[in-house]
């Protein structure tokens, strides 16, 4: 059977936990990672004694840098909306970065049905 290319990942908007009920929630546009990007992220992982694979903070940061494409309503302390830049990614709170990296890795996964096709 021929090997089929991975589907193109279309960016999607993601609203972090706790923002769903806000009138103007902060949202992040995320895109799944390509095969080479996933390999780079997975290189930053280790296996625990229980067999779980743990990705390092560096790997999670790489996932966000690869997969975060834009945001809405992300402001500084004065309420000024910040542009989506690599420099401003550093201003995202750690808890949100963790949530974003988990979502990016989740949407990067190929389903069993997609693997069969």
**Residue 12 located in a structural domain:** no
Q: What whole-number distance in Å separates Cα of residue 42 and Cα of residue 53?
A: 9
Partner residues linked to 53 by β-bridges: 47
**What's the domain count of the chain?**
1
**Residue 22 located in a structural domain:** no
- Choice between 77 and 3, residue whose per-residue pLDDT is larger: 77
Partner residues linked to 72 by β-bridges: 27
Question: Against a cut of 0.85, is the pTM above it?
Answer: no
**Residue 31 located in a structural domain:** yes
Q: What whole-number distance in Å separates Cα of residue 86 and Cα of residue 64?
A: 10
Give the residue-averaged pLDDT of 66-88. Answer: 96
In tens, the pLDDT along 24-65 reads 999 999 999 999 999 999 999 887 777 778 898 999 999 999
**H runs (alpha helix) in the chain:** 35-42, 57-67, 86-89, 94-108, 112-116
pLDDT exceeds cutoff 70 at 73? yes
**Residue 10 located in a structural domain:** no
Q: What whole-number distance in Å separates Cα of residue 114 and Cα of residue 20?
A: 30
pLDDT of residue 64: 96
């Amino acid at each position: 059977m021929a090997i089929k290319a991975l589907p193109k990942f279309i960016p999607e908007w993601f609203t972090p936990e706790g923002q769903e009920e806000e009138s103007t929630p902060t949202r992040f546009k995320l895109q799944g990672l390509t095969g080479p990007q996933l390999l780079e992220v997975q290189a930053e992982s280790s296996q625990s004694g229980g067999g779980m694979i743990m990705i390092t903070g560096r790997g999670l940061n790489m996932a966000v840098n690869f997969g975060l494409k834009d945001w809405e309503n992300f402001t500084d302390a004065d309420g000024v909306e910040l542009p989506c830049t690599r420099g401003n990614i550093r201003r995202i709170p750690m808890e949100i970065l963790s949530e974003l990296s988990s979502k990016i890795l989740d949407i990067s996964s190929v389903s069993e049905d997609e693997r069969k096709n």
